Structure 1
């Protein structure tokens, strides 16, 4: 009986962690790093032609020479949110 209660309690906790909407980006996003579009604050020009909720990539080299790709999402107030950041490897094993 105690195992059953413990199982359902753990199941409920795990389930509540999974109930967030996949399209909801209500968090503050990732912190900008040098090279990010939003590093010095939001851009002065507003993205007026792109619809809110759309995304776009930005690739740059960070201060350590790594290639970084960030994915930005345009918020309803036309500000940018960094949704994802990927570091590309400096050396590739596929090079001949």
Structure 2
């Protein structure tokens, strides 16, 4: 009985840490890398026509030559949050 009570308490604490409250991303997001829109800070121009909470992709090549796609979300203060980052696989069709 002690194990199930302890497990329930730990699970409840972990679950409360997962809630976002307002429905927006509240974490800092991923750290920007060279090529990210927010690498040298937030962009100077604000996205005033895009609705808060909307997302958009950005693709670039990083310093190691990998194709990277990032998904940004517009926060209520019009700053950008990197929500996702995907590295595209590089296929080699060379028979060497």
Please indicate the TM-score interval, normalised by the length of the shorter structure.
0.7 to 0.9
CA–CA distance in 1 between the matches of 2:12 and 2:92? Answer: 40
Report the counterpart of residue 59 of structure 2 in structure 1: 59
Does residue 83 of structure 1 match 2:80?
Answer: no
Q: Which runs of 5+ in 2 are unaligned?
A: none
Matched positions, count: 90
Report the counterpart of residue 49 of structure 2 in structure 1: 49
Report the counterpart of residue 15 of structure 1 in structure 2: 12
Report the counterpart of residue 29 of structure 2 in structure 1: 29
CA–CA distance in 1 between the matches of 2:66 and 2:82? Answer: 18
Name whichever of 12-21 and 58-67 sits farther off.
Answer: 12-21
Name whichever of 17-26 and 64-73 sits farther off.
Answer: 17-26
TM-score if structure 1 supplies the norm length?
0.83
The CA RMSD over aligned residues, in Å, is 1.8
